[in-house]
Amino acid sequence: MDLAEATNPVTAEMDRHNGRIFLYSQVLIFLAAPVIYVGVVQAALCDKLGASATIANLPASTFLLGSVAPLFVSWWVPYRWERAVLVTASAFSSVLLTLVFGTLVLPVPDSFRIAAVVGQGLILGLSSSTALVFMYQCLGRGTSLEGRARAMKSALTLGPIAAVLGSLGAQFVLNRGIPALTYPYDFALLYFIGIPCTACVALVNSRYRLIPLQDKPRQPLWQFLGGILRTLAADRTLRSLWIAYLFWYCTLGSISNLSLYTREALGRDPKDLSGVVMALRFGFKSAAAFLLGAIALRWGIRAPLIVTVLLVGFAPLWAWSIPGYAFLLAFGLMGAGELGGAYFPNYVVSVSPSQSGARNLALLTLASPFASFAPVLHGRLTDAYGFPASFLFGIATALVALALVSKLPIVKKS
């Protein structure tokens, strides 16, 4: 893989402007975290609707499965449309939340609501994964390597603080903080709050300023896919990164199942603590983002990958080993390690030419649908053998990811 272009036409003013756009969009996304980050809240909702652990983990799996979309979108979209695709995908998420909100306020059977939540995971996976790829592509086309490190340090520190506020608000609502708001209208309110947040994300993303790129004739799809496979086969760095991302996702996929463990560990309904779980997840994420930004500036962009893999791998070990309410800190560790979802794409952007950035990001994101079996497998292992089987699987996949990222090249400068 070629290193990013040595001559970067990005100006200091573009660095600052696009860094602010990234910050604003991240704050809005994190504010809607209870419904945008498919997993904990959706598992609690499905559990409340009477689903098994396997089905309760299904929304998280379908969300990952939807990540196949960027591969085909990156083939079809010319460079001049990349910002427009980001805006459209963000706006579509707002429409989807509106539809799910409707199913929760209308008098429909619980089986229909479970299907709607599972369907939300798939369709939101399609739109949000597309938005993620083109957000980092736009950030890569509008910032320098150092500018991206600064932007990610600020956005991923302040953004999760908004998620903590949103999660504590969600806990207040779900614990009957508004007495007149009974189930399922308490869950519906969470979706209602997410609608304007995601609509504003689309508006903010329309303000990115990008360096111009010359469009190329679109390849036939089979040639495009063949080229990606050849790149993956020939490029050891990209191949190792892809496999590491796959196994990192397999460990991260345990978080919704981990939220169901609250019933066994504490004797509490998962719904009763889902907001606290999300607050811990994003509170630790905020603190870790500040540290990871500093680590990236000091030791290069590989170092945060190693740290995030260590964090997600330690989370199931902590949950398994620590009794009582202290086990909830596992969600904080998992949330901090979840920042790998930002630093893996950043590594790809930083070592890819701009012309192949979206393609390589789409290829990396393709690891997500390949890992879509993981949340359901965590649930299935739990149903069949108990939670320790899920914990062991999460620890093992983290160790594989750690071995791979430790061998990636170190990149410190543009």
pLDDT tens digit sequence for 193-243: 999 999 999 999 999 999 888 888 878 888 877 877 787 777 888 899 999
Mean pLDDT of 275-296: 87
Mean pLDDT of 393-409: 95
Q: Number of folded domains in the chain?
A: 1
pLDDT: is 209 or 366 the higher one? 209
The pLDDT value given to residue 159: 87
Q: Which of 6-10, 269-273, 330-334, 344-348 has the lowest mean pLDDT?
A: 6-10
How large a percentage of the chain has pLDDT more than 90? Answer: 47
Distance CA 247, CA 249 (A): 5
Of the chain, the end-to-end C-alpha distance in Å amounts to: 14
Q: DSSP assignment of 312-342, as one string?
A: HHHHHHHHHH--GGGGGHHHHHHHHHTTHHH
Mean pLDDT of 344-360: 79
- Position 359 confidence tier, pLDDT thresholds 50, 70, 90: confident
Sign of CA dihedral 320, 288, 134, 232: negative
The pLDDT value given to residue 198: 94
The set of residues, in sequence order, having a beta carbon less than 8 Å from that of 262 and lying 6+ positions away, is 268, 269, 270, 272, 273, 277, 328
Mean pLDDT of 366-394: 92
The pLDDT value given to residue 133: 84
- Evaluate whether 47 touches 270 at the Cβ level (below 8 Å): yes
The pLDDT value given to residue 231: 77
CATH code of the domain containing 180: 1.20.1250.20
The pLDDT value given to residue 6: 41
Distance CA 198, CA 119 (A): 18
φ, ψ for residue 217, nearest 5 deg: -60, 140
Which of 244, 36, 242, 31 has its CA nearest to residue 129?
A: 36
Judged on CB neighbours under 10 Å (0-12, 13-18, 19+), 413 is exposed
Tally of CA atoms within 13 A in the half-sphere of 196 that contains its CB: 3
Mean pLDDT is highest, among 55-64, 80-89, 231-240, 282-291, for 80-89
Residue whose entry in the numeric block shows the structure tokens 């040639």: 223
- For the chain, the C-alpha Rg in angstroms (whole number) is 20
pLDDT tens-digit series, residues 122-165: 999 999 989 988 998 899 889 987 888 889 888 888 888 898 88
DSSP-based helix, strand, coil % in the chain, nearest 5 = 80, 0, 20
Judged on CB neighbours under 10 Å (0-12, 13-18, 19+), 180 is exposed
Mean pLDDT of the chain: 88
Mean pLDDT is highest, among 92-96, 176-180, 243-247, 355-359, for 243-247
The pLDDT value given to residue 378: 95
| Number of other residues whose CB lies within 10 A of the CB of residue 111 | 11
Angle between helices 303-321 and 387-405 (to 10 degrees): 160
**Which tokens hold the place of 181?**
């708001």
- Position 69 confidence tier, pLDDT thresholds 50, 70, 90: confident
The answer to whether residue 390 is domain-embedded is: yes
Query: Would you say residue 1 has pLDDT above 60?
Result: no
Which of 28, 23, 30, 18 has its CA nearest to residue 201?
A: 28
The pLDDT value given to residue 384: 93
φ, ψ for residue 351, nearest 5 deg: -110, 10
Is the bond into 179 cis (omega within 30 degrees of 0)?
no
Would you put residue 39 in left (φ > 0), alpha (ψ -120 to 50) or beta? left
The answer to whether residue 5 is domain-embedded is: no
The answer to whether residue 117 is domain-embedded is: yes
Mean pLDDT of 54-71: 87
The answer to whether residue 182 is domain-embedded is: yes
The answer to whether residue 109 is domain-embedded is: yes
Integer CA distances (angstroms), 199 to 25, 192, 196, in order: 10, 12, 5
- Position 294 confidence tier, pLDDT thresholds 50, 70, 90: confident
Query: Would you say residue 362 has pLDDT above 80?
Result: no
The pLDDT value given to residue 346: 86
The answer to whether residue 1 is domain-embedded is: no
The pLDDT value given to residue 7: 47
Domain extent for 389 = 12-209+219-405
pTM: 0.74
The answer to whether residue 84 is domain-embedded is: yes
